C-alpha cells in the first residue's frame, strides 16, 4: 500500500490492484469517503469487487468491439491489474502499460483537494476507440444529499429525467439500504460541471471541464444490487460518454478515438468540503 497525506487528507492506494484508491479520509472530521473492503478480483464486477476508487477503461460494462479483438472485461482492462507507481509524501504517478495502450493517472493533494490528471496513449498502429469513467464508490448516509451543477440532458434507462425527479423517489436524497433501489443515470456536462455529496458531516465534490470530459454518470445503489449480496453505495462519475459500455458509446457516436501514437489528456478535481454548505438541507 502507498499512503499520500497532508494536514487535511490521507489517501491510500494499492499499486498491485489497479492503483485502486482504497481510502480517502477527511482528517478534520475523520470521515472515510470510499466504500471500504478488500481488493478482490473476479470475472465479473459484483458486490465483493465494488469497493474503493477504480478507473474504468476502455469500457465499463462487458461488450465486444472489433478494435479490441474480443470480449472486453467487466469494468475495463486497468482495474485489478498491477500498475507501476512512483510517489512522494503528497503525490504519485501510476501507469499501466498494455501492448495497445498506456494509461496513466497522477494524484496530487493540495489542501482539501485531490487533483487527478490523466493521459492515455495509443501504442498500436491502428485507431483505438475507448470509453473512460472515474469509478469512486462513495460511503454515504441517508443524511446526505446529492447536488449537481451544470449537468443537463439527463436520462435514466433511455428515458429523459429532470433532476432530481424520478417516478420512484427524490434522487437528490441518499436512500436507505432497505429501499432495494438501484439506478444508473447520465447527463451532459456544461462548461465546468460539478457533482457533490453534501451533508451535516461534510461533503465531497467532483469538478471537471465539459470540454475534456463531456458526460456524467451516477450510480445510486441503496440495497438494490447485486441481487444475492446487496450493497449501499453512490458513485458520481465524470465520464467520456453517456453509455454503460464501449460498443454502446460507439453506436451513439460518443466513443473517443485515439489515432496511432496519439495521447489524450483530462483532469478531475475532488474536494472535501465543510459541513456547513449553504445549499445543504436535511431530507428528513
pLDDT number for residue 280: 47
* CA–CA separation, 197 and 138 (whole Å): 9
* CA–CA separation, 166 and 244 (whole Å): 20
What is the number of alpha carbons within 13 Å of residue 36 lying toward its C-beta? 8
- Give the strand pairing for 232-239 and 215-222: antiparallel
Q: Work out the average pLDDT over 24-47.
A: 93
Q: Is the pLDDT of residue 279 over 90?
A: no
**Residue bearing the bigger pLDDT, 166 or 42:** 166
Q: Work out the average pLDDT over 193-214.
A: 96
Could you tell me which of 212, 217, 214, 216 has the C-alpha nearest to residue 264? 212
The chain-wide mean pLDDT, for the chain, equals 95
Q: Is the pLDDT of residue 88 over 50?
A: yes
Q: Work out the average pLDDT over 173-189.
A: 97
**Residue bearing the bigger pLDDT, 43 or 111:** 111
* CA–CA separation, 1 and 26 (whole Å): 19
Q: Is the pLDDT of residue 3 over 50?
A: yes
DSSP-derived secondary structure for 129-187: EE--EEEEEE---TT-EEEEEEEEEEEETTEE--TTB-SS-BTTB---GGG-EEEEEEE
Sort 89 into a burial class: Cβ within 10 Å, 0-12 / 13-18 / 19+.
Answer: exposed
pLDDT number for residue 284: 36
Q: Is the pLDDT of residue 78 over 90?
A: yes
Reported as a pLDDT band with limits 50, 70 and 90, residue 277 is low
pLDDT number for residue 266: 98
Identify the residue whose cell numbers are 469500457: 59
* CA–CA separation, 45 and 48 (whole Å): 8
Cα-atom radius of gyration of the chain, to the nearest Å?
A: 18
Amino acid at each position: 500500500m502507498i499512503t499520500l497525506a497532508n494536514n487535511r487528507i490521507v489517501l491510500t492506494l494499492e499499486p498491485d490492484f489497479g492503483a485502486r484508491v482504497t481510502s480517502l479520509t477527511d482528517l478534520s472530521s475523520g470521515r472515510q469517503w470510499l466504500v471500504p473492503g478488500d481488493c478482490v478480483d473476479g470475472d465479473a464486477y459484483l458486490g465483493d469487487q465494488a469497493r474503493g476508487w477504480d478507473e474504468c477503461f476502455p469500457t465499463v460494462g462487458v461488450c465486444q468491439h472489433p478494435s479490441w479483438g474480443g470480449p472486453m472485461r467487466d469494468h475495463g482492462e486497468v482495474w485489478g491489474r498491477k500498475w507501476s507507481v512512483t510517489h512522494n509524501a503528497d503525490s504519485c504517478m501510476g501507469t499501466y502499460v498494455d501492448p495497445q495502450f498506456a494509461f496513466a493517472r497522477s494524484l496530487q493533494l493540495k489542501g482539501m483537494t485531490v487533483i487527478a490528471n490523466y493521459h492515455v496513449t495509443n501504442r498500436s498502429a491502428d485507431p483505438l476507440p475507448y470509453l473512460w469513467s472515474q469509478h469512486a464508490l462513495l460511503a454515504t448516509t441517508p443524511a446526505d444529499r446529492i447536488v449537481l451543477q451544470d449537468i443537463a440532458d439527463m436520462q435514466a434507462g433511455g428515458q429523459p429525467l429532470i433532476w432530481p425527479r424520478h417516478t420512484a423517489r427524490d434522487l437528490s436524497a441518499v436512500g436507505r439500504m432497505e429501499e432495494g433501489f438501484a439506478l444508473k443515470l447520465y447527463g451532459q456536462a456544461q462548461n465546468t460541471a460539478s457533482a457533490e455529496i453534501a451533508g451535516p458531516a461534510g461533503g465531497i465534490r467532483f469538478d471537471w471541464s465539459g470540454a475534456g470530459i463531456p458526460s456524467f454518470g451516477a450510480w445510486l445503489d441503496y440495497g438494490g444490487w447485486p441481487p444475492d449480496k446487496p450493497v449501499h453505495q453512490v458513485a458520481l462519475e465524470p465520464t467520456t460518454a453517456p453509455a454503460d459500455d464501449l460498443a454502446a458509446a460507439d453506436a451513439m457516436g460518443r466513443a473517443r478515438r485515439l489515432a496511432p501514437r496519439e495521447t489524450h489528456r483530462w483532469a478531475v478535481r475532488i474536494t472535501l468540503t465543510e459541513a456547513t454548505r449553504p445549499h445543504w438541507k436535511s431530507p428528513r
